[in-house]
């Protein structure tokens, strides 16, 4: 009887160890893939110009100050113009400022989209209205 109990305990230990190893392997794989994705997002965000980061965050006063200091309002960052960033993130007030200061409305991104298209794709209704008004005037 002792032999049977010892044998059963050995089998249970092996089963538990196997399950633990599998669990750790799955957990580690998921964690490392999440880290890769997080790194890719961070890297993409890190490549965005400071001017376009300000637009993304909606910092109107800082954007205005940079325009007044001579920043190129049509210079692409990660393939998008500043107006495209304003459109994509629904920053209507900033979009209006950029347009008033000479942002080009019909320029296409590296993906072939205009600021208008980015506003449509992002369902950025406020920015979309500003861009459509500028295109129609």
Lowest mean pLDDT, pick from 24-28, 37-41, 111-115, 121-125: 37-41
Say whether both 65 and 132 belong to one domain. Answer: yes
Say whether both 4 and 71 belong to one domain. Answer: no
Q: Domain total for the chain?
A: 2
How confident is the prediction for the chain on average, in pLDDT?
A: 80
Say whether both 79 and 119 belong to one domain. Answer: yes
Say whether both 33 and 81 belong to one domain. Answer: no
pLDDT, tens only, 11-56: 555 555 455 544 555 544 444 444 444 444 443 556 899 999 999 9
- Residue with the bigger pLDDT between 4 and 98: it is 98
How far apart CA 24 and CA 112 sit, in angstroms, is 44
Say whether both 123 and 66 belong to one domain. Answer: yes
Say whether both 35 and 67 belong to one domain. Answer: no
- What distances in angstroms separate CA 50 from CA 32, 69, 118, one per listed residue? 29, 14, 20
* C-alpha torsion angle, residues 24, 25, 30, 32 (rounded to 10): 100
Is residue 83 within 8 A of residue 103, CB to CB? The reply is yes
Q: Which tokens belong to 22? A: 């599998």
Which residues constitute the domain of residue 18? 1-47
User: 53-78 b/e with 16+ CB inside 10 Å = b?
Assistant: ebbbeeeeeebeebbeeebebeebbe
Backbone angles phi, psi at 42, to 5 degrees: -60, -40
Say whether both 64 and 125 belong to one domain. Answer: yes
pTM of the model: 0.68
Is residue 104 within 8 A of residue 81, CB to CB? The reply is yes
Residue 83: which pLDDT band, with cuts at 50, 70 and 90? very high
Question: What pLDDT score does 20 carry?
Answer: 52
CATH code where residue 131 lies: 1.25.40.20
């Amino acid at each position: 009887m002792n032999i049977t109990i010892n044998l059963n305990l050995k089998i249970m230990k092996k089963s538990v160890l196997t399950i633990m190893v599998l669990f750790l392997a799955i957990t580690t794989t998921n964690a490392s893939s999440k880290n890769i994705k997080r790194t890719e997002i961070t890297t993409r965000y890190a490549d965005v110009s400071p001017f376009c980061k300000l637009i993304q965050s909606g910092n109107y006063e800082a954007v205005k100050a940079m325009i007044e200091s001579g920043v190129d309002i049509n210079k692409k960052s990660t393939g998008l113009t500043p107006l495209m960033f304003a459109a994509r993130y629904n920053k209507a007030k900033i979009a209006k400022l950029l347009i008033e200061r000479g942002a080009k409305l019909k320029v296409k991104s590296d993906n072939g989209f205009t600021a208008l298209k980015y506003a449509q794709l992002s369902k950025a209704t406020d920015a979309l209205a500003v861009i459509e008004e500028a295109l129609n005037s």
